[in-house]
Amino acid sequence: MNLIIDIGNTRTKLAVFKGDELLNSLVSDHVDIESNIEKLYNTYQLKNCILASVTKFSPNIDKYKFNIIVKLSHQTKVPFINNYKTPSTLGVDRVALASAAAYQYPNNNVLIIDSGTCITYDFINNKNEYLGGAISPGLHLRYKSLHEFTSKLPLLEQAEYKLIGNDTNSSIHSGVLNGFVQEIDGVISQYQQKYPNLTVVLTGGDTNFLAKKLKSSIFAIPSFLLEGLNSILIYNLNE
């Protein structure tokens, strides 16, 4: 069994896989991660582990008796050809998403959209080549920037919106949320024009919200990043 540790900007996700099957997953604050790893280690017969972190924070996993520990970096072996110009600067989360696409949709043009703190767009073509993508502010960052870079606009949380806002709050919701959805639909359209038979995967914290709003046909897979990390671990086990 495999332990997957995904340390993001604001939270940590832990998962247990048996082969390709996701058995358990949980979200942890950084302060609780050590105790949660301990619980999973004592509950399951964990053999292997992969750790990916987009921050400098890293729990002590070397104390556990794993057969293999993969600490994901640009030097880790992955199941795709990385054509990113600066591979050392490519986030490990984006590497994991590309790996999931290569593993689950071989020989396809795949656009992965991960909506969290930031929106990342990652593209892997039907030759198994990762070409890159884009990074854009996520929903919370958009709300926060309107509040922090103006003198009077309030800080709001995500809510339902209407196209025409008739007060300050509803106008902010319309601008942020409608703009958010239109951006993603527009990016998908650009990729579809350039790459026929495009597969689009949506993941991240805003998956459920976006899946209901986007015009394009997508696969909504909230656990896609965890599945990608597991695929990297499996790939390294077989090397």
For every residue of 191-227, DSSP letters joined together read HHHHSSSEEEEEESTTHHHHHHH-SS--EE-TTHHHH
Radius of gyration of the chain (CA): 19
Respond yes or no: is residue 29 known to be catalytic. Answer: no
Predicted confidence (pLDDT) per residue in 22-80, tens digit: 999 988 887 788 888 888 988 998 999 999 988 777 778 888 888 899 999 889 999 99
How close are the terminal C-alpha atoms of the chain, in Å? 17
pLDDT of residue 239: 67
Predicted confidence (pLDDT) per residue in 105-131, tens digit: 999 999 999 988 889 999 999 999 999
- Establish whether 9 is an annotated binding residue: yes
CATH of domain 72-239: 3.30.420.40
- Establish whether 11 is an annotated binding residue: yes
Q: Is 69 left (phi over 0), alpha (psi -120 to 50) or beta?
A: beta
CATH of domain 1-71: 3.30.420.40
Which percentage of the chain shows pLDDT scores above 90? 60
pTM of the predicted model as reported, rounded to 2 decimal places: 0.88
Q: In which residue ranges of the chain is CATH 3.30.420.40 found? A: 1-71, 72-239
| Model confidence at 195: pLDDT above 80 | yes
pLDDT of residue 62: 82
pLDDT of residue 50: 94
- Establish whether 7 is an annotated binding residue: yes
20, 32, 93, 167: the catalytic one is 93
CA dist 140 and 143 (Å) reads: 5
- Establish whether 142 is an annotated binding residue: no
- Establish whether 91 is an annotated binding residue: yes
- Establish whether 6 is an annotated binding residue: yes
3-state secondary structure of 69: strand
Print the SS3 string covering 86-144. CHHHCCHHHHHHHHHHHHHCCCCEEEEEEECCEEEEEEECCCCEEEEEEEEECHHHHHH
